[in-house]
Chain A
Amino acid sequence: METHHLAGSRTRDETHRRLPRLSHPAGDLPRSSMEGWHPLYPGHIPTSPLQKALLAAGSAVMALCDPYRHDMVAVLGETTGCLALPNLRDKMKNHPEGYRILQERPRIRLSTLDMARLQGLPDGSLGREYVRFLEDNKVSPDTRMPPKFVDDEELAYVIQRYREVHDLMHTLLGMPTNMLGEVVVKWFEAVQTGLPMCVLGAAFGPVRLSSRKLQVLATELVPWAIRSGLNASCVLNVYYEQRWEQPVESLREELGIFPPPPVRV
């Protein structure tokens, strides 16, 4: 990666010449002053290694201090995923279904989902249960942050896919979106993806839980999540959009996710 050069030694005229000009009529934001670094995808912000390190540290602290800052969790994932993301991408490339996903780049968004059709599917099917999950927890697939700090366009898609598939993880694992449910899903994802953000989330998430919940977490839920995560094939290699009719049980079996323990979460 080219290290950016600082403005200090340049004359003012040089600075003026080199600063980015807004040319796009729709009005892009001013680009980073990283000379020679161009955005690789819409929303991409090129960053230097120092900036990534600062971002990682800052976002980790902020995510802990203010759990409502989901954008900080996202930033943490992007800035620390430099090893795990290529790994995931390679897993996808070497799997027929995963490879197709990388080629076709499907997105899970309200605009692309046929909600009416999914609601009409039989109970127990992936589509029906997914919609039920969205409704019960009052979440929408459109609230996922687009990636900003990933410096590779394909890896940016991989992390985007991981984010959009997160709700399906909830559905497959049968976990709600409360703190306990999120932590369980994080454990599963940590084992599955190896993303440091998941590992950190799994490790630090529980600090805000009551002792009773912690007990349930430690004795039943986490062991199950880890076992399932280790046993299951890569969850990113599933073309969920083509499997809405498939029963959740059947998909779980196919992937290798064990049935959830009979615990109220």
Chain B
Amino acid sequence: VTVPGRSGVRMDCGERGSRAGPGRAEPGRGPFPAGSGRTEAIYQVFENVAKKYDVMNDSMTLGIHRVWKDILMHKMNPCPGTLLLDVAGGTGDIAFRFINYVRSVRQRQLQRKLKHHQNLSWQEIFDSYQKDQFNSLGDSQVVVCDINREMLKVGKQKAQHLGYSEGLSWVLGNAEELPFDDDKFDVYTIAFGIRNVTRIDLALQEAYRVLKPGGRFLCLEFSRVSNPLLSRLYDLYSFQVIPVLGEVIAGDWRSYQYLVESIRQFPPQEELKAMIEDAGFFKVDYENLNFGIVAIHSGFKL
């Protein structure tokens, strides 16, 4: 799958700054100005951090990012047979959780089925095992789409290492111009990625386009802390500690400085909700986690 030119790179809690080229005069948000330069700059960021990504996430959030992603999965509550598109899903955190989730749901489904079949003969029970054995995911599938080759590479390696193979696809693609047809997916997720997209509105429109009617949009992203005391502590930690962690662990101060600044620049909960509604989604809502440090936005294509 080819990558159509522009931005839409995901960033989780780790990023790395790099040389930004000259940009078009487009209204930009964040420390990198908009334009072709921004895309390349962000691309290089992730190219460099890909290997240390997960380590940095764990260090910066003290492992809490895992909980956030688990909560996202529980909110999604996918049933077997769901087709998930995880955009900016680089290293596969959401995809692996999805697979685990549907696998366990599927297990319970099979167990319940078995309970109802207790009057069957041994042979019939054995035959039903054979049939379902190769369907541990119940036809669920997840497509991991990311603009950055290095991130996908790390994700694929992780998948191999952890033993994930079926139901998983890796696609190189741009959130602002997805390489998929209309009305294809049941769920669209973007976890810590939408912040790095230059044209968030385009990404949201694309999300709307590729979702089936009835499909769900879920976005997990850093957001605004409204509590003033917590906000000060959060700022202190963000600006003082996180770049230091970046320098010490990944040898890269700039990226993590950029990370912290880009979080502050990102639209707060209500504004993002409005943008999602503008893209055509209904029943748009958000849930704050940890007092607004992150928020999960949800919407439906009806």
Residues in A neighbouring B251, C-beta threshold 8 A? 69, 71
- The reply to whether the CB of A48 lies closer than 8 angstroms to some CB of chain B is yes
- The reply to whether the CB of A12 lies closer than 8 angstroms to some CB of chain B is yes
- The reply to whether the CB of B31 lies closer than 8 angstroms to some CB of chain A is yes
Assembly CA distance A28 to B257 (angstroms):
13
- A30 with B260: in contact, given A12-B268, A25-B22, A62-B248 (CB under 8 Å)? no
Task: Report the nearest A residue to B267, measured CB to CB.
Answer: A12
Total interface residues on A, using CB and 8 Å? 35
Question: What 0/1 readout, one digit per residue, does chain A (1-40) give for beta carbons within 8 Å of chain B?
Answer: 0001011110010011001111001111110110000000
- The reply to whether the CB of B101 lies closer than 8 angstroms to some CB of chain A is no
Establish whether residues A22 and B18, one from each chain, have CB atoms under 8 Å apart when the complex forms. Answer: no
Establish whether residues A51 and B20, one from each chain, have CB atoms under 8 Å apart when the complex forms. Answer: no
Establish whether residues A27 and B22, one from each chain, have CB atoms under 8 Å apart when the complex forms. Answer: yes
Question: What 0/1 readout, one digit per residue, does chain B (227-259) give for beta carbons within 8 Å of chain A?
Answer: 010011011100111011101110101100110
Establish whether residues A33 and B239, one from each chain, have CB atoms under 8 Å apart when the complex forms. Answer: yes
Establish whether residues B239 and A27, one from each chain, have CB atoms under 8 Å apart when the complex forms. Answer: no
Interface centre among A29, A33, A51, A148 (most CB of B within 10 A): A29
Residues in A neighbouring B248, C-beta threshold 8 A? 55, 58-59, 61-62, 72, 75
- The reply to whether the CB of A115 lies closer than 8 angstroms to some CB of chain B is no
Assembly CA distance A12 to B263 (angstroms):
11
- The reply to whether the CB of A216 lies closer than 8 angstroms to some CB of chain B is no
- The reply to whether the CB of A263 lies closer than 8 angstroms to some CB of chain B is no
Residues in A neighbouring B29, C-beta threshold 8 A? 16
Q: Out of A21, A30, A50, A59, which one reaches B240, CB within 8 Å?
A: A50
Q: Out of A6, A30, A48, which one reaches B261, CB within 8 Å?
A: A30
- A19 with B31: in contact, given A7-B235, A29-B17 (CB under 8 Å)? yes
Establish whether residues B17 and A30, one from each chain, have CB atoms under 8 Å apart when the complex forms. Answer: yes
Establish whether residues B235 and A75, one from each chain, have CB atoms under 8 Å apart when the complex forms. Answer: no
- The reply to whether the CB of B41 lies closer than 8 angstroms to some CB of chain A is yes
Establish whether residues B261 and A33, one from each chain, have CB atoms under 8 Å apart when the complex forms. Answer: yes
- The reply to whether the CB of A45 lies closer than 8 angstroms to some CB of chain B is yes
- A22 with B32: in contact, given A4-B239, A55-B248 (CB under 8 Å)? yes
- The reply to whether the CB of B51 lies closer than 8 angstroms to some CB of chain A is no
Residues in B neighbouring A45, C-beta threshold 8 A? 253-254, 257
Question: At the interface, is chain B mostly helix, strand, loop or mixed?
Answer: helix
- The reply to whether the CB of B33 lies closer than 8 angstroms to some CB of chain A is yes
Residues in A neighbouring B23, C-beta threshold 8 A? 22
What's the nearest-Cβ distance from chain A to residue B158, in Å?
22
Question: What 0/1 readout, one digit per residue, does chain B (265-300) give for beta carbons within 8 Å of chain A?
Answer: 100100000000000000000000000000000000
Task: Report the nearest A residue to B239, measured CB to CB.
Answer: A33
Establish whether residues B260 and A58, one from each chain, have CB atoms under 8 Å apart when the complex forms. Answer: no
Residues in A neighbouring B258, C-beta threshold 8 A? 29-30
Total interface residues on B, using CB and 8 Å? 40
Residues in A neighbouring B243, C-beta threshold 8 A? 32, 51
Residues in A neighbouring B261, C-beta threshold 8 A? 19, 30, 33
Assembly CA distance A45 to B247 (angstroms):
11
- The reply to whether the CB of A139 lies closer than 8 angstroms to some CB of chain B is no
Interface centre among B17, B231, B251 (most CB of A within 10 A): B251
Establish whether residues A6 and B241, one from each chain, have CB atoms under 8 Å apart when the complex forms. Answer: no
What's the nearest-Cβ distance from chain A to residue B275, in Å?
15
- The reply to whether the CB of A54 lies closer than 8 angstroms to some CB of chain B is yes
Establish whether residues A30 and B31, one from each chain, have CB atoms under 8 Å apart when the complex forms. Answer: yes
Establish whether residues A8 and B257, one from each chain, have CB atoms under 8 Å apart when the complex forms. Answer: no
Q: Out of A6, A15, A28, which one reaches B265, CB within 8 Å?
A: A15
Residues in B neighbouring A71, C-beta threshold 8 A? 251
What's the nearest-Cβ distance from chain A to residue B36, in Å?
11
Which residues of B24-83 have CB atoms within 8 Å of chain A's CB atoms?
29-33, 37, 41
| 28 interchain pairs, CB-CB under 8 A | A6-B232, A6-B236, A7-B235, A7-B264, A15-B265, A16-B265, A19-B261, A19-B264, A21-B33, A25-B22, A26-B19, A27-B20, A27-B41, A28-B20, A29-B17, A29-B18, A29-B254, A30-B254, A30-B261, A32-B257, A33-B261, A51-B240, A54-B240, A54-B241, A61-B248, A69-B251, A75-B248, A148-B253
8 closest Cβ pairs, A-B complex: A30-B31, A58-B248, A27-B20, A8-B232, A6-B235, A29-B17, A8-B231, A54-B244
Can you name 7 extra interface pairs (CB under 8 A) apart from A9-B228, A27-B37, A51-B244? A8-B231, A19-B31, A32-B257, A51-B243, A58-B247, A59-B247, A72-B248
